[in-house]
Amino acid sequence: MRLLLDTHVLIWWDAGARLSREARNAIRDADEVYVSAASAWEIAIKTALGKILSSRTVGDAVQASGFIELPILFRHAGALAALPPLHRDPFDRLLVAQAHVEKLTIVTRDSLVSQYAVKVIRA
């Protein structure tokens, strides 16, 4: 299985909290676990605004967990145009586009994401 973590799932995984048993097992047993550059961008913005505190960089958290960085590519941005306007959050929309293009399953607690044509594991 190949997974893409939603931003909040990465934060929760790194903190060792809040994930469903199904999500924890899927992450632990996955062949590949990706974290989007969009998540690093979102965390940087929220950290700068004082909305979240992080004890280490996203890169350090991803590396320590054995996850894989997923860059944002032109084909990911292009796939955004085909998405129905179900979700207003641009970061979540980009994650959906990346999951669709790369054929990844998204691990998220966001119920709007499951309305898209992508596989989802509830966090």
pLDDT value at residue 17: 83
Write out pLDDT tens, residues 53-94.
888 899 999 999 999 999 999 999 999 999 998 988 999 999
pLDDT at 14: 93
Q: Does the pLDDT at position 119 exceed 90?
A: yes
Distances (CA, A) of 59 to 7, 15, 22, 88, 101: 13, 15, 25, 26, 23
- pLDDT over threshold 90, residue 50: yes
Residue 11, domain CATH: 3.40.50.1010
Residue 108's alpha-carbon distances to 17, 24, 74, in angstroms, are: 14, 11, 24
Residue 22 predicted with pLDDT over 90: yes
Q: Which domain holds residue 54?
A: 2-122
How many domains would you assign to the chain? 1
